[in-house]
């Protein structure tokens, strides 16, 4: 097979500037100068098929570009402290959803009416469903209802299924 002379030809970022001895399998090899100034030796096959287009800087630039434009990619390649901050927020919001804002069963804040609701359900019926201007009053009402209807407070009987149903 007649060997092509690639000297002077450009393949994307690579300009062929010299011929190198063929490799062990007889593939022609060429000395190329990259746009960035690096010199690399590439086989003619890889040049003609577009397998090798630069000294390696093209791939690096593409990675950089992707990390700049793709937010997901950036999240995992970005500053480690950013990631842990974000993770921390996610984790804490998950934890918060386990219980309501007050941390008290049966007491919740309603932001539309700006009031606190105290609830207690007994046998699938509300025995307490009332709003209060402050969290303390709502908690007090809930605790009083617990004493009245359950005979004990949530803290002492958190295993009781009736309590769980209320929240």
15 near Zn ion, rule: CB under 5 A:
no
Taking the complex as a whole, how short is the minimal distance between the CB of residue 43 and Zn ion, in angstroms?
A: 17
- Residues of span 100-139 touching Zn ion by CB under 5 A: none
33 near Zn ion, rule: CB under 5 A:
no
31 near Zn ion, rule: CB under 5 A:
no
Q: Which stretch binds Zn ion (CB under 5 A): 28-36, 64-72, 110-118, 120-128?
A: 28-36
36 near Zn ion, rule: CB under 5 A:
yes
Question: How wide is the angle at C-alpha 142 spanned by C-alphas 151 and 100, nearest 5°?
Answer: 120
State which residue, 34 or 47, has the beta carbon closest to Zn ion: 34
H helices present in 99-160, as ranges: 135-145
155 near Zn ion, rule: CB under 5 A:
no
- Residues of span 50-69 touching Zn ion by CB under 5 A: 54-55, 57
Taking the complex as a whole, how short is the minimal distance between the CB of residue 61 and Zn ion, in angstroms?
A: 9
| β-strand partners of 126 | 121
State which residue, 34 or 120, has the beta carbon closest to Zn ion: 34
Taking the complex as a whole, how short is the minimal distance between the CB of residue 15 and Zn ion, in angstroms?
A: 11
Q: Which of 38, 131, 153, 157 binds Zn ion (CB under 5 A)?
A: 38
Residue 105: name the closest of 137, 146, 133 by CA.
Answer: 146
Chain centre distance of CA 131: 39
Taking the complex as a whole, how short is the minimal distance between the CB of residue 28 and Zn ion, in angstroms?
A: 21
Check if the beta carbon of residue 139 is closer than 8 Å to that of residue 118: yes
**Interface residue list for Zn ion (CB under 5 A):** 34, 36, 38, 54-55, 57
């Amino acid at each position: 097979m007649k060997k092509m002379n690639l000297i002077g030809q450009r393949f994307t970022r690579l300009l062929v500037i010299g011929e190198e001895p063929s490799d062990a399998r007889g593939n022609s090899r060429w000395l190329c100068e990259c746009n960035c100034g690096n010199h690399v030796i590439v086989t003619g096959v890889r040049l003609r098929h577009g397998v090798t287009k630069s000294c390696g800087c093209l791939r690096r630039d593409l990675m950089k570009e992707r990390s700049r434009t793709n937010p997901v990619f950036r999240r995992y390649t970005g500053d480690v402290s950013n990631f842990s901050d974000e993770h921390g927020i996610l984790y804490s919001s998950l934890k918060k959803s386990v219980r309501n804002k007050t941390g008290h069963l049966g007491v919740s804040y309603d932001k539309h009416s700006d009031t606190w609701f105290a609830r207690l359900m007994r046998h699938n019926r509300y025995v307490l469903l009332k709003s209060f201007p402050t969290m303390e009053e709502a908690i007090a009402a809930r605790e009083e209802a617990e004493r009245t209807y359950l005979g004990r407070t949530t803290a002492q009987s958190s295993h009781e299924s009736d309590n769980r149903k209320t929240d």
